[in-house]
Structure 1
Amino acid sequence: MDHSNGVVGVLKKFKNKYPDLYEFILFNIMSNVATITNFIVLWLGTGIFFKGLDSSFNWWIFHYNASQGGLGGFLSFLVAYICAQIVNFIVQRKVVFGATVQIKKVLFWYVLTVAVAGIISVWLPPYIIQQLTPIIGGWAATVANIVNIVIQVVINYPMMKFVIMK
C-alpha cells in the first residue's frame, strides 16, 4: 500500500523537510496526554478528594486562601502536576524524542526541571484565581491551569530537547 500521497506521506515529507518544527508540534500534541491527566486529577482533587480541605493554606511562597481553594486547592494542583509530569516523561521519551539514554543519567535534570516549573505551577494559581474569579467564577482554576501548561511548555521543551532527552 502506497501512502506517499495520503496523510501519512504528507506528514513524512513535512517531518523530513522541517524536523525541528515537526518535533515541537509532536511535543505539544503529545503533551496533551499529560494535560488530560493534569485536568482529570485537578478536577478529581478539587471536586472529590480534597474538597473538604478548604481552610487557608500559607507556607513559604504558597498562599491559598479559602476562596482560592485553600489546602485542597494547593494539594489538587500539586498532585495534578506530579501525575502529569510522570506521564509526560514517559510519553516524551518514547514517542517524541525516541530517547534511549538511561533514565538514571537524566533523572536529576528532569526532576530539577519539573521542580522549577512545579514551584511556579503551584505558586501562581491563587493569584490568577483571585484576579479572575470575579470575572469568570469557577472557571478561574481552569484558566490558572491553562497558564501553568503554557509555562511548562516554555520551560520543559528546551530542557528536554537539549539536555534531558539528547
Structure 2
Amino acid sequence: MAHINTVETMLARQDIHDVMMRYARGIDRGDETLLLSCYWDDAIEVHGPAYEGPAVPYLKGAAQRMKANGTTMQHFVGNMHIDFDGEDRAFVESYILTFARFPKDGEPWDTLTGARSFDRFERRGGEWRIAHRRAIFDWNRDQPSSEGWCMGLFDTSHKNMTMGRKAPDDLSYSRD
C-alpha cells in the first residue's frame, strides 16, 4: 500500500519523532518530568518480564533508579516505522540501541541491547503521546567494563573534561 504524505501526516511524524527523542533524553538523564511528557496518564507499559502495568509508576521508578544509583545509560533511537490508523492513532515501531553500566558482584559491567519499542500513539487535544508500549528484545551483549577513554587520550580529571550527569546537573540543562 502506497503512503502519501500530507502536511498533516508530516507534522504528525515529526511530533511522534519528538516524543521518542524526549523519551531517550528523559530516561538517560533520569528526568521524570520529561519522561512523563511522553505518555498519557492512562498509558500501559509492558517492558518484558521486568514490568507490566500502568506506565506512570514505571516511569517514576525508572527516573528515581537512574538518579539514585548514577547508572550510566544511553538510548539511541534509529529506524522508525509509523503506520497511521486514522487521524488520531498511529502504531510506531522504533529500533533502540541501549548501553547501560550496572554493578555485578561489585564490579562494573556493560550491557548493550538491541531492542524495539512497539507503541500505540494517540493524539488527544492535538498532542501525540504514547498510549501503550511493548518492548521487543532482539539481542544483548554483557561484558566486564573496560573503560579506558580512548586508550588514555581523554583525562577524565582534566578541568575541561565534561562528564555526563543526571538531570538537572547535566550540562545539557544549562544555557551557559
Where is the helix percentage greater, Structure 1 or Structure 2? 1
Where is the strand percentage greater, Structure 1 or Structure 2? 2
